Amino acid sequence: MPRPKLKSDDEVLEAATVVLKRCGPIEFTLSGVAKEVGLSRAALIQRFTNRDTLLVRMMERGVEQVRHYLNAIPIGAGPQGLWEFLQVLVRSMNTRNDFSVNYLISWYELQVPELRTLAI
């Protein structure tokens, strides 16, 4: 009988997102995520296999969150509706640091085939 999970996948993915935003994609490690979420690196490997699989799961989750967010934005007709939509979108981009990290994540998505398919 498998041991019960101490942390849900969502908790792990949320912690991984925190680590990714803090460290960027180059310095993102399973050890860093394990420390953040309070699990062993081995537990993460057992659940997600490797770093790239964890990143793919994070990106899949991120794509779903963005789709949900975008679908919830009221969109008006014409140029004014477009302008209001763009304002909401830009405000959601957060701080300058988040922008640079998101830019690096976008670059990284293009390097890993599984992530590239999600980015397109």
Dist. CA 108–CA 95, nearest whole Å: 20
pLDDT along the chain (120 residues), means of 10: 79 94 87 97 95 88 80 83 83 65 72 70
What single letter denotes the amino acid at residue 75? I
Domain extent listing, the chain: 9-119
Dist. CA 99–CA 25, nearest whole Å: 13
CATH of 9-119, one of 1.10.357.10, 3.40.1410.10, 3.10.310.30, 3.40.50.1440: 1.10.357.10
Query: What per-residue confidence (pLDDT) applies to 94?
Result: 65
What DSSP string runs through 74-114? ---SHHHHHHHHHHHHHHTT--HHHHHHHHHHHHHHHHSHH
Query: What per-residue confidence (pLDDT) applies to 111?
Result: 76
pTM for the complete prediction? 0.72
